[in-house]
Every structure is written in structure tokens, then in C-alpha cells.
Amino acid sequence: MGFSTDAIHGGQEFDLATNAVITPIYMTSTYANYGLGNNKGYHYGRTNNITREALEKNIAILEKGKYGIAFSSGVAAVQSIMGLVKSGDHIVATDSIYGGTYRLFEMFFKNYGISFTWVDMTEPKNVENAISENTKLVFMETPSNPMLTLTDISAVANICKNHNIISVVDNTFMSPYFQNPLVLGADVVLHSTTKYLNGHSDIIGGIVVTNNEEINNSIRFVQKAIGAVPSPFDCFLTLRSTKTLAVRMDKHNSNALAVAEFLKSNSNVKTVNYPGLQDHPQYELIKKQMSGFGGMISFDTGDFEKTKRFFEKTKLFTLAESLGGVESLSNHPVTMSHSSMPENERLKLGITNSLIRLSVGIEDLEDLINDLEIALK
């Protein structure tokens, strides 16, 4: 089946009671038993829910995986990965990473005896060099937030396999439409479903997908034991949204490429970071592991005052947290998405006070370019 066919039909069956074409919202916290040990396999809403199961199956299919485990946020999905390690274990993580993940690792899980080494994963050998006897997991985010650097998933996954280490990829920026980490050799892929998978800025959610039964069982236990599950209504909305993922991502992609090219030609822009630009230093890797470039761009004006004026003048690129919705958003990483990261770490990555991150929506391109042109004057 093609991607859009799987997105529309995958994991979904007609409602048993009515033959409804669309999976219903099962808003229930508990289920009736016919007697002791006599039920339909459903016990309690935290443990299982039909709407949630349909979403888990759907996204697992899109990611070419066997198992999907849904959570109440992207951070909750990342947190569930910690169920694969224990106190005394070591994790190698990319240094170019979402600020919320950095905060979770550095300011929370370090307190539980888990150690982290942050490395530049644009060079796979840096991962190999960081591995120690107690390394149990490698965490990738590619392309990275907000600098759009890449990790060679296949190369790092092979290193992990050689050392019997679990490899994890945050695929939020690309979605399953443009990149499939499991196909490239990763053990686990995760998403903030808040972003492109839902794409309408009206839910918070996350999901983990794997082909490994043991990993699935461990993360499924975390889902049940900790209880960070999405509501059936949020699952319904996300399931609605995956049906249009392909058409949305194509539009995000074409708009973002044109916006990146415009920014590159603008005299008030110092640098532009976008995978679709042929002068991206990893363009050959981009063509190898991605089928598109996505809708995320970052650019630097080189002047904080120019950056402030941009946020004040833009009308369509709303200054807001999050990304991946149909509407265009702008973000100031230093004070927003990456405010938890120490300044010296941010600056090493190129996250300056004048850096702007754009989530390019699916509005009419001419309107977006016109808005940017005015905001950058």
C-alpha cells in the first residue's frame, strides 16, 4: 500500500456496533465485566482504549514498525525511553537537541543515577568514541532542533548494533512521510504527535514505535505504570490528521524551500539553515536518508535588534511555542524552546540571541514571502 492509503486506512476497522467508517471516540474510563475474569479484554482506560489502539496501529504502520505506544506528550514519549535503562547506565545523546529533551535528561534523570555524554553526531565516529562499558542507549534527533543538522542514522545504528546498544531517533521534524528511521536500522523511533502528525495545533501527544517485542513490552509497561496516556479525544483528532499528512507535508516542504531560498537572498539575513538548500554541508546525507526536506527553517539576522523587530513586525509567522501546524509560527530559541540549555552550550551549537526558528505553514506562498519581506526591512 502507498503512504496515503496506509494513513487513511491503516490500523482502523469499522466500528463493531454500527459499522461507522471513522473510528469512534471511546470516552470511557472503565469497562464492564460479565463475571470474574469474563470480559472483552478491556479493563481500565489507562491500560487500553480502542481509539488509542487505532492511533498506535496507524502510526506504527506509517513508520514501518510493528508496535506503537502512545503518550500524553512528546516529552512523556521521551521519558518512556528511560524505561530501557537503569541507575548506573550511560546514554550518548546528540548535543544538537530540543531544549525540553535536554532539560529532561540533564535536570531530571541525572538525579536518578543515569549519566549522559553529549556529542556532535554529524560525525558518527564521535558516537563510537563516547561509548563506554555501561552505555545502554544512543539518542539521536535528526534533523535537529533548531539548527537542522543531521545524524547518519544507518551509520550510528550499525555502531549501536556492534556494541549491543539500543538506538533511538526523534523523528518529529521529518514525520514518517519524509524519513523512516526503523528502515534505516534504528531500534526505536519517537514523535511529538503535537507537531506534524497532528498538524493542527489542537492536541498535545507523543508516540514511540519499534519492531522489537522486548522494547515494546518495556515501554508498554511504562505507559501503563506511569499512566501518561493521551485522551481518546486527542487520539481521535490525531487519527483524523494522519489521513492528510502526505498532502500537508508536501505543502510544508514546497513552501519552506521557497522561503529558505528567499531568506538566503535577503541582505538582512546572515545565515540560513534548511536541509533543502544545496549548500547545506550534509546535502548528500539528506538525499540518502530523507525523501523530503520538511517545513522547519532557522536563520540568523546577526543582530538581536533586527531579530526583535522581525518578531514585532511579522503578521503571519506568529511568535509562539511549538511547530508543525498548518499555520506558520516563529520562535526565539534562546528565550523559548532552548531556554533551559546553558548559554555556552547554545552558543557552541550556533544558537545565538539573533537566531530565529520558523515553522513554515501551508498558507499561500506569496503571502508568506510578502510577510517576511516586510518583517525583515
Instruction: Give pLDDT tens digits for 58-74.
Output: 999 999 999 999 999 99
Q: Is the pLDDT of residue 327 over 90?
A: yes
Instruction: Give pLDDT tens digits for 207-230.
Output: 999 999 999 999 999 999 999 999
Cβ-Cβ contacts under 8 Å for 189 (sequence gap 6 or more): 63, 65, 168, 169, 170, 171, 180, 181, 182, 208, 209, 210
Strand order in the sheet with 90-94: 67-71, 206-210, 188-192, 166-170, 135-141, 90-94, 115-119
Q: Is the pLDDT of residue 17 over 90?
A: no
What grid cell was written down for 365?
506562498
Q: What is the mean pLDDT of residues 327-349?
A: 96
Q: What is the mean pLDDT of residues 123-137?
A: 98
CATH 3.90.1150.10 residue ranges of the chain are 245-375
- pLDDT over 70 percentage in the chain: 100
One-letter amino acid for residue 334 of the chain: V
Strand order in the sheet with 329-331: 271-273, 296-300, 355-359, 329-331, 318-319
**What are the phi and psi torsion angles at 296 (to 5°)?**
-105, 135
Q: What is the mean pLDDT of residues 133-143?
A: 98
Q: What is the pLDDT of residue 347?
A: 95
Note the CATH number of domain 245-375. Answer: 3.90.1150.10
Instruction: Give pLDDT tens digits for 6-15.
Output: 999 999 888 8
Residue with cell 525511553: 81
Q: What is the pLDDT of residue 13?
A: 86
CATH 3.40.640.10 residue ranges of the chain are 3-242
Q: What is the pLDDT of residue 14?
A: 85
- pTM, 2 dp: 0.97
Q: Is the pLDDT of residue 37 over 90?
A: no
- In words, the CATH class of domain 3-242 is alpha beta
Looking at the annotation, which residues are catalytic?
46, 98, 170, 195
Q: Is the pLDDT of residue 30 over 90?
A: yes
